[in-house]
A and B are shown apart, each in its own frame.
Chain A
């Protein structure tokens, strides 16, 4: 009996085994092919990076010997382009889980420096300070290049794979040496030890919405209980709700409190308040919003009243937007007819009952202060002469704007059109410089999403 069953089953199983084996082998091959493709992408990004840093270093050397604007402009523009390309290469490598910031900052600083000397403000001869900076950067870039070259020769001679480096990075328990990781650690350490370089007066270091420094003293430290009382008043709470105030960590250079309001059920009201002075940075109520009952224009009036009731100065609405049944409005204070763009606040209004369900006032808290506003030296008509003749002006205002160097300048703001495109153009009201041109983004047809 058994023998007969076995006689039938054995060949069947044997065939099944062969088929399974073949299938497994094919799966394995396919997986290898996919992995290889990913690996090749990493390899290409890395070798591109070394090439770009190599060329970058050469160009920095070249720039030291140039003595005419005609040569300086293309050379500096090249440095700017190569620094950008190198940063983009870094973004394609799996380096997110390891410290590589200093090197990225280094590349970014070179880019900013060369942009200023090549595009923004080319001048020959270079000031002695700029030349010294250039020479230092040249030396530092050589060391970065050298470190990258060492990693590269390691990769080439030992057939190192980025895949393995990626595995080693995400798995900390393994104490394997990985030449790629070690090489990049060494590079990062090297760059960290570079002495500070002066990038000149117009350089922006680490400009971002993150490291916002208050332009004025925000006041003395507010204790948590005073913040809680202030928030209750701000929200007009009856008193039954619990207001929880928690001090945030040191990661934020401007100390803040996180505030949550609980009314028995799950909390849906959140605020951040500065520790100094106890100013509300933002407020958000994420309650569900019903159908649209009031229109955007009524909601705007409501937002305006709310701002006045909460002690904000006279404001002008500069931008409105609607998503589903929520209206969002941007306001700027107006002083002596001048729009103060650095002091913007954003207000969110629920269109079901007109309640203000959100405020974003970080810019206002950090920038609004009594200012000595300058008086325009140019008339509106004179400023208008400075515009491109192709622009049809539709509206104009006086505005205080931050320029590229993050200084506040008084400017005429022109809203104009060329064919169907809309532009915002700023002409300095003191000296007539074109401070900025902004094209309003227009959605290409067919890309507006409904979901």
Chain B
């Protein structure tokens, strides 16, 4: 492409300036400005990317621009609010959004490719959750959704039980513990449903009522597993402790 002449460059600058002015006048009209959703700690997605970008533009945010409204973002929204005489709520409501758009007039929103962001939850990292989703998919992909949550819950129940290894990978890769590991099905990439099931289990849902074992009565070879006190049957699996 030919180098733009001096005049052409001036023209571009003029147009840009005009566009910025427009966006200041009517912030809601610009295609990629923050939507009118109230953002709070725990929000995820496109608006959070832009919020983080804008706070970074102001030098008020030092964390990663990852689309996850976490503690970093929360504190910097708070300090933005106290700096602009707004009530410090840590939430991006209408007043805060207007003040932020006003303060970041010169900012050009960037495009972020991924809108579905999956970070860690609580004490579990994103990779722990991915690994559990692999295990759930390998072990129970033909099962009803509730049965998949149940398999994830068994992994978590083992984590809190002193008789089992003390980490998610330790439990999943304990020799002989899961058939999906023994036959390599753990390597299959999980579907979104398996991941959803893991998230539900991580957030406290336990359809098994505290089980640490499950087995398929049609294929179980170990006699010992039948001696465990049973809790309930979900789909093809019997859950016991």
A93's partner among B91, B163, B175 (CB-CB below 8 A) is B175
Q: A246-B232, A272-B207 are in contact. List 10 more A-B contacts (CB 8 A).
A: A95-B175, A95-B176, A104-B162, A248-B209, A251-B239, A252-B231, A297-B91, A319-B42, A443-B70, A448-B68
When distances are taken between beta carbons in the complex, the residues of chain A under 8 Å from B75 are: 394, 417, 422
Interface contact B232-A97, CB-CB below 8 Å: no
Answer whether residue B58 sits at the interface, using C-beta atoms and an 8 A cutoff.
no
Tell me the A335-382 residues at the B interface (CB within 8 Å).
346, 348, 358, 360, 362
Interface contact B41-A320, CB-CB below 8 Å: yes
Q: Closest approach, in angstroms, between the C-beta of B131 and any C-beta of chain A?
A: 11
Answer whether residue B203 sits at the interface, using C-beta atoms and an 8 A cutoff.
yes
When distances are taken between beta carbons in the complex, the residues of chain B under 8 Å from A239 are: none
When distances are taken between beta carbons in the complex, the residues of chain B under 8 Å from A95 are: 175-176
| Interface bits B137-170 vs A (CB < 8 Å: 1, else 0) | 0000000111001000000110011111110001
Interface contact A295-B39, CB-CB below 8 Å: yes
Answer whether residue B106 sits at the interface, using C-beta atoms and an 8 A cutoff.
no
Q: Which residue of A lies closest to B37 (CB)?
A: A295
Tell me the A303-346 residues at the B interface (CB within 8 Å).
319-324, 327-328, 346
Interface contact A209-B157, CB-CB below 8 Å: yes
Answer whether residue A172 sits at the interface, using C-beta atoms and an 8 A cutoff.
yes
When distances are taken between beta carbons in the complex, the residues of chain A under 8 Å from B205 are: 282, 284, 346, 358, 360
Answer whether residue A296 sits at the interface, using C-beta atoms and an 8 A cutoff.
yes
Interface contact B40-A320, CB-CB below 8 Å: yes
In the assembly, what is the distance between CA of A42 and CA of B199, in Å?
33
| Interface bits B177-196 vs A (CB < 8 Å: 1, else 0) | 10000000000000010011
When distances are taken between beta carbons in the complex, the residues of chain A under 8 Å from B62 are: 420
Which stretch from A53-61, A64-72, A163-171, A400-408 is at the chain B interface?
A163-171
In the assembly, what is the distance between CA of A248 and CA of B231, in Å?
6
Answer whether residue B211 sits at the interface, using C-beta atoms and an 8 A cutoff.
yes
Question: What are 19 of the A-B contact pairs (CB < 8 Å)?
Answer: A88-B166, A97-B222, A105-B162, A108-B163, A166-B176, A172-B221, A208-B161, A251-B239, A282-B207, A284-B205, A295-B43, A297-B39, A322-B44, A441-B122, A442-B63, A443-B66, A447-B126, A448-B68, A449-B130
Q: Which residue of A lies closest to B146 (CB)?
A: A270
User: Contact residues of A with B, CB < 8 Å?
Assistant: 42, 87-88, 91-99, 101, 104-105, 108, 166, 169-172, 206-212, 246, 248-252, 256, 258, 266, 268, 270, 272, 282, 284, 286, 292, 295-298, 300, 319-324, 327-328, 346, 348, 358, 360, 362, 394, 417, 420, 422, 440-443, 445, 447-451
Q: Closest approach, in angstroms, between the C-beta of A78 and any C-beta of chain B?
A: 19
Interface contact B170-A323, CB-CB below 8 Å: no
Tell me the B69-85 residues at the A interface (CB within 8 Å).
70-72, 75, 78
| Interface bits B187-231 vs A (CB < 8 Å: 1, else 0) | 000001001100110011111011110000000011111001111
| Interface bits B25-42 vs A (CB < 8 Å: 1, else 0) | 000000000000111111
With a 10 A CB-CB cut-off, give which of A91, A93, A420 has the most chain B CB atoms.
A91
When distances are taken between beta carbons in the complex, the residues of chain B under 8 Å from A248 are: 209, 231-232
When distances are taken between beta carbons in the complex, the residues of chain A under 8 Å from B203 are: 321, 328, 346, 348, 360
Give the interface SS of chain B, mostly helix, strand, loop or mixed: loop
When distances are taken between beta carbons in the complex, the residues of chain B under 8 Å from A99 are: 224
In the assembly, what is the distance between CA of A340 and CA of B165, in Å?
31
A445's partner among B37, B64, B71, B156 (CB-CB below 8 A) is B64
In the assembly, what is the distance between CA of A256 and CA of B230, in Å?
13
Interface contact A92-B207, CB-CB below 8 Å: no
Known: A104-B163, A210-B157, A210-B241. A441 touches B225 (CB 8 A): no
Interface contact B42-A284, CB-CB below 8 Å: no
In the assembly, what is the distance between CA of A258 and CA of B144, in Å?
15
Q: Closest approach, in angstroms, between the C-beta of A363 and any C-beta of chain B?
A: 8
In the assembly, what is the distance between CA of A362 and CA of B153, in Å?
14
A-B contact count (CB 8 A): 221
Nearest 10 Cβ contacts at the A-B interface: A320-B42, A450-B114, A251-B231, A108-B162, A91-B165, A251-B229, A295-B37, A297-B38, A210-B210, A422-B71
Interface contact A448-B222, CB-CB below 8 Å: no
Answer whether residue B60 sits at the interface, using C-beta atoms and an 8 A cutoff.
no
Interface contact B145-A443, CB-CB below 8 Å: no
When distances are taken between beta carbons in the complex, the residues of chain B under 8 Å from A440 are: 70-71
Answer whether residue B174 sits at the interface, using C-beta atoms and an 8 A cutoff.
yes
Interface contact A450-B116, CB-CB below 8 Å: yes
Q: Closest approach, in angstroms, between the C-beta of A290 and any C-beta of chain B?
A: 14
In the assembly, what is the distance between CA of A96 and CA of B212, in Å?
11
Interface contact B231-A327, CB-CB below 8 Å: no
Answer whether residue B125 sits at the interface, using C-beta atoms and an 8 A cutoff.
yes
Answer whether residue B15 sits at the interface, using C-beta atoms and an 8 A cutoff.
no
When distances are taken between beta carbons in the complex, the residues of chain B under 8 Å from A251 are: 209-211, 228-231, 239-241
Answer whether residue B127 sits at the interface, using C-beta atoms and an 8 A cutoff.
yes
Answer whether residue B18 sits at the interface, using C-beta atoms and an 8 A cutoff.
no
Interface contact B162-A172, CB-CB below 8 Å: no
When distances are taken between beta carbons in the complex, the residues of chain A under 8 Å from B225 are: 97
Q: Which residue of A lies closest to B210 (CB)?
A: A210
When distances are taken between beta carbons in the complex, the residues of chain A under 8 Å from B99 are: none
Answer whether residue B121 sits at the interface, using C-beta atoms and an 8 A cutoff.
yes
When distances are taken between beta carbons in the complex, the residues of chain A under 8 Å from B38 are: 295-298
Answer whether residue B123 sits at the interface, using C-beta atoms and an 8 A cutoff.
yes
Q: Which residue of B lies closest to A246 (CB)?
A: B232
B174's partner among A42, A96, A166, A211 (CB-CB below 8 A) is A96
Q: Which residue of A lies closest to B225 (CB)?
A: A97
When distances are taken between beta carbons in the complex, the residues of chain A under 8 Å from B71 are: 417, 422, 440, 442
Answer whether residue B109 sits at the interface, using C-beta atoms and an 8 A cutoff.
no
Q: Closest approach, in angstroms, between the C-beta of B124 and any C-beta of chain A?
A: 8
In the assembly, what is the distance between CA of A316 and CA of B38, in Å?
19
In the assembly, what is the distance between CA of A451 and CA of B127, in Å?
12
Q: Which residue of B lies closest to A295 (CB)?
A: B37
Q: Closest approach, in angstroms, between the C-beta of B211 and any C-beta of chain A?
A: 7
With a 10 A CB-CB cut-off, give which of A101, A207, A322, A327 has the most chain B CB atoms.
A322
In the assembly, what is the distance between CA of A321 and CA of B122, in Å?
10
Q: Which residue of B lies closest to A294 (CB)?
A: B37
B229's partner among A249, A327, A422, A449 (CB-CB below 8 A) is A249
When distances are taken between beta carbons in the complex, the residues of chain B under 8 Å from A362 are: 204, 206
In the assembly, what is the distance between CA of A252 and CA of B228, in Å?
11
